[in-house]
Amino acid sequence: MMLLVIAVASLFAGVGVAVAHFLGNLDQSTYRNLLLAVTAVWFVTATIWAYRKPQN
Amino acid sequence: MASRLKNLAAQMDALNEFDREPVHEGSLQSASRFAGLFAGEHVAATEFVIGAFFVLHGVTAKDLLLGLLLGNVLAVLSWTFVCAPIAVRTRLTLYWYVRRIAGPGLTLVYNVANALMYCILAGAMISVSSSAIGIGFGIPTPSLNDVLPNSAGWVVLTLVIGFLFTVIAVLGFEALSRFAGICSPWLFMVFVAGAIATFPSLGVHANLDNLWEVLETKVWNGKPVDGQEQFGFWQIAFFAWFANLAMHIGLSDMALFRYAKDWRYGLFTSTGIFPGHYLAWICSGLMVAAAGRELDPGRMAFGAAGIVGVLAVMIAGWTTANPTIYRAGLALQSVTPNWPRWKLTLYTGLVTSVLACFPVFFVRLLDYVAIYGLVLMPVGATVFAEHWLFPLLGIEQYEAEKKRMLFNWKVLVVWVGTLGACAVMPLHLFYRWLPGYFLALGMYVMLNLGRRIAR
């Protein structure tokens, strides 16, 4: 469950960094790097969550 | 010839054998399952191109927002009132229902036509991915007026990418389908984040007080780029309506809705349509406007989201081209006796890769989407007439099945006649399917009026 929460939070974080860039709080380079980081978090957590073994 | 066709039809039947029987009561799926199923659909590589094209065609902001709203509502209603009720009543796939109506021979022709359409669509997806990867190699994306490849680099890149996609489709289709499910929410996030990140370069103020003005003057400003026809409200509305014509009016999604407990589950298509065919198209419009109104999916995504944007275009093309190549291979399997699935997928993928080298399918994507739906629409009309109108008019149903016909010539006449009429209609390409649909309904009923049963 925690993995799913982190995965979903990373998606919101991706939109968040874009908003921060729009508001002038992040420069373009930082925005792009953070977007790459949240992408990595999404793929790791969502993949593990999707392929986890069902619990009895 | 007839016996050859019979053999091919029998092979096609064998391939679809697993879903020959109507879905049983115990296999029906819940409403939440349907809502989730559709939520992941319609965020594909083509979204990067379609939304951008609306900008290049000089649509105004108001026409875009209202046109997409109307068109998408009509699409959802088409799934709900045309496709889902027939699927729920029959519990069959379109393949088996068309077979009862058109005969196995004509069903085979329909499947092959469908496969060819799939190949071209997959080719367009590969082209979109090539535009992203080409950035890294300095290979220019073909321009809007290109029909033939613009450089040797483009051909080599597209063939290599097409080949890689094909090998992956051959090796692990199931695993990739699962991976595509993981990518879908992330792709949607990239669309939204990328669009928001274009605001500073478009001049949107932080308090959004000039947002509408920017949208009207810098994005959907009503001025088409050179060589592009101007679009208005109705073109946008019709495009959004027919973007999935083969699925709703053409009834392909009977394969999904036969598992629905209720025909009203058709409304759940809105969970995918509005994020994909409304929000994602708007986002890609913002991205292309920020990228200087130049159709180059890779570059516009890079400008909006950096390397993540390039990854998104590449992965979107990959995850949507693969099932398309696979489906095309499946549909063609009947006409290549004794070929294993891998071999057929491989050949289908190679043909698709060659098609992808020709930018005409990618730069004329809107027209191609219109033609794709138009070609398959008359068969959907004959199924609708047979299912709903024949009982109302007292016409005996399923003549082809009862008389064991290989070809129902009436369906063939309606199919060819409707397409012929649509070809010469003095209407914009986007509008032709609608009168064509009613023409097909009328023709099919007229041809069968002689079979009315005395009450």
Q: ipTM for the complex?
A: 0.95
- Residue B390's pLDDT is 96
Residue A14 and residue B306: Cβ atoms within 8 Å?
no
pLDDT digits (tens, 9 = 90+) for B308-336: 999 999 888 888 787 778 777 777 766 66
Q: Select the residue of B178, B189, B307 nearest A36 (Cβ to Cβ).
A: B307
Among B residues 147-186, those touching chain A with beta carbons less than 8 Å apart: 178-179, 181-182, 185-186
d(CA B287, CA B54): 12
pLDDT class of B359 with cuts at 50, 70, 90 = confident
Does residue B222 carry a pLDDT above 90? Answer: yes
Q: pLDDT band for B16, please (50, 70, 90 cuts).
A: low
Whether pLDDT at B455 is above 90: no
Query: CA B397 to CA B157: how far, in whole Å?
Result: 52
What is the Cα–Cα distance from B297 to B126, expressed in whole angstroms?
12
- pLDDT exceeds 80 at position B132: yes
Min Cα distance A11 → chain B (Å) is: 6
Q: Do B189 and A15 lie within an 8 Å CB cutoff? A: yes
Give B85 or B27, the one with higher predicted confidence. Answer: B85
Confidence of residue B337 (pLDDT cuts 50, 70, 90): low
Chain A nearest-CA residue for B196: A18
Give the pLDDT of residue B186: 93
Average pLDDT over chain B reads 89
pLDDT digits (tens, 9 = 90+) for B22-49: 878 888 888 888 887 787 677 888 888 8
- For A39, the closest of B179, B186, B206 (CB atoms) is B186
Q: Is A14 close to B311, i.e. CB distance below 8 A?
A: no
Distance CA B379, CA B393 (A): 20
Count of CB atoms situated within 10 Å of the CB of B5: 16
The secondary structure of residue A53, as a DSSP letter, is P
| pLDDT at residue number B106 | 92
- The highest-confidence range among B3-17, B159-173, B190-204, B440-454, by mean pLDDT, is B190-204
Of A24, A32, A47, which is closest to B306 when you measure between CB atoms? A32
Band of pLDDT at residue B279, cut at 50, 70 and 90: very high
From the list A22, A36, A47, which residue is nearest B197 (CB)?
Answer: A22
Give the least confident one: B69-83, B120-134, B257-271, B407-421.
B120-134
B194/A contact by beta carbon, under 8 A:
yes
Task: State whether residue B307 sits within 8 Å of chain A by CB.
Answer: yes
Residue B195's pLDDT band (boundaries 50, 70, 90)? very high
Question: In whole angstroms, what is the distance from residue B355 CA to residue B161 CA?
Answer: 12
Q: What is the mean pLDDT of residues B207-212?
A: 94
Residue of chain B nearest A23, judged by CA positions = B206
Residue B441: is its pLDDT beyond 80? yes
CA distance A30 to chain B (A): 11
Q: With an 8 Å Cβ cutoff, is B193 touching chain A? A: yes
Residues of B in Cβ contact (< 8 Å) with A51: 178
**Which pLDDT tens digit goes with each residue over B366-407?**
999 999 999 999 999 999 999 999 999 999 999 999 999 999
Q: What is the pLDDT of residue B30?
A: 85
Is the confidence at residue B2, as pLDDT, over 70? no
> In the predicted model, is pLDDT for residue A55 greater than 60?
no
pTM of the shown model: 0.90
Q: Which amino acid is at B4?
A: R
DSSP string, B394-421: TBPS-HHHHTT-S--HHHHHHHHHHHHH
Q: Are A45 and A10 in contact (CB under 8 A)?
A: yes
Chain length of chain A: 56
Treating both helix axes as pointing N-terminal to C-terminal, what angle do B104-137 and B307-332 enclose, rounded to 10 degrees?
160
pLDDT the model gives residue B108: 87
Decide if B193 and A14 are in contact by the 8 Å CB cutoff: yes
Chain B nearest-CA distance from A55, in A, is: 19
